[in-house]
Amino acid sequence: MQQQSNGQNKFLIDADIGDDDVTLPNLPAVNVPIVETPPVQAEVSELVAAEDSAMTETPAKGGFFSRMKEGLTKTRKNFADGMVNILIGGKEIDDELLEEVEEQLLVADIGVDATKTIIANLTERTARGELIYSHSLYKALQEELVALLAPRVKPLHIDPNKTPYVILVVGVNGVGKTTTIGKLAKRLQGEGKKVMLAAGDTFRAAATEQLQIWGERNDVAVVAQGHGADSASV
C-alpha cells in the first residue's frame, strides 16, 4: 500500500489489470469486544477417547506374555513352513535334501547331537529303500523325534523327604522356560505344597521381572537379585 500526496490510498489489485485509485472513507472507530471462545466439548471428548484407546491398546500390544506367545507361534510356524517348503513337490531324497532338513533342525534349536542322530537314521532308512521321495520324510521325521523323546518322558515325582526340593529349569531362549515354571508353581501349589521361585537367570534382559510376574499371579514368593548378579548367590 502506498500513500499518495493527495491523501488517497492506492492499492495494487492485480498486476495484469493495472492500478486502481480507491478513496477510503473516514469511518468512526468501533470498539469490538474480545470474546474468548470456550473449547469445543466434542473435540475434547474425541481427544480423551483417542488417548484412552491408545493407553488401552499399548499394553496389549507390548505385553510380555503376548510377545512370548507371538514369538513361540512364529518359531513353530517358521519351522513347519521351512520343512514344508523343503519336502513339498515329491522330489527324490538325496544328500542335498537331507542337508536342508538338517539345517532346519538346527535353526529350530533341536540340538546338535539330536540332529546328528535324526539325520543319520533318516540317511540309513533312505539307503535301505524305506524312504524314496521327499513327502515320506515328514512322517519319518516325526517318528524320529518321538523315538528320541519317548525314553526321556517320565512323571515328575517330588520326594517329600528331600527338603527343599529343587527343580532346575534349563533351556535356550524362547522355548518357554518361564511359562513352564509358572505352570509348575501353580500345579504344585494346588497339591498343597509350599512353592518358592528363584530367578537364576540374572543376565538376560527382563528375565527376573518376567518370573516375578508369574510369582504375583500365583501368589508365590520370588527370590531375585539385580541384573548381572551372580546366579549362585540367588
Instruction: List pLDDT tens digits, range 64-117.
Output: 445 555 655 555 566 666 676 777 767 888 999 899 999 988 888 888 999 999
Tally of domains in the chain: 2
Q: How many CB atoms lie within 10 A of CB 120?
A: 12
pLDDT at 25: 46
pLDDT at 124: 94
Q: Which of 49-53, 155-159, 181-185, 221-225 has the lowest mean pLDDT?
A: 49-53
Model pTM above 0.85: no
80 and 137 housed in the same domain: yes
Give domain status of residue 145, yes or no.
yes
Give domain status of residue 136, yes or no.
yes
Give domain status of residue 34, yes or no.
no
Q: How confident is the model at residue 228 (pLDDT cuts 50, 70, 90)?
A: low
Give domain status of residue 55, yes or no.
no
148 and 70 housed in the same domain: yes
- What letters, b where the CB count within 10 A reaches 16 and e where it falls short, cover 165-195? eeeeeeeeeeebbbeebbebbeebeeeeeeb
Q: The domain that contains 143 carries what CATH number?
A: 1.20.120.140
123 and 194 housed in the same domain: no
204 and 138 housed in the same domain: no
136 and 188 housed in the same domain: no
pLDDT at 119: 94
Beta-bridge partners for 191: none
Give domain status of residue 35, yes or no.
no
Give domain status of residue 89, yes or no.
yes
144 and 85 housed in the same domain: yes
pLDDT at 55: 43
Domain range enclosing 109: 64-152
Give domain status of residue 102, yes or no.
yes
How many angstroms separate the CA atoms of 85 and 79, rounded? 10
Residue that finishes a domain, picked among 152, 169, 196:
152
144 and 182 housed in the same domain: no
Give domain status of residue 211, yes or no.
yes
Q: Which residues contact 39 (CB under 8 A, 6 or more apart)?
A: none
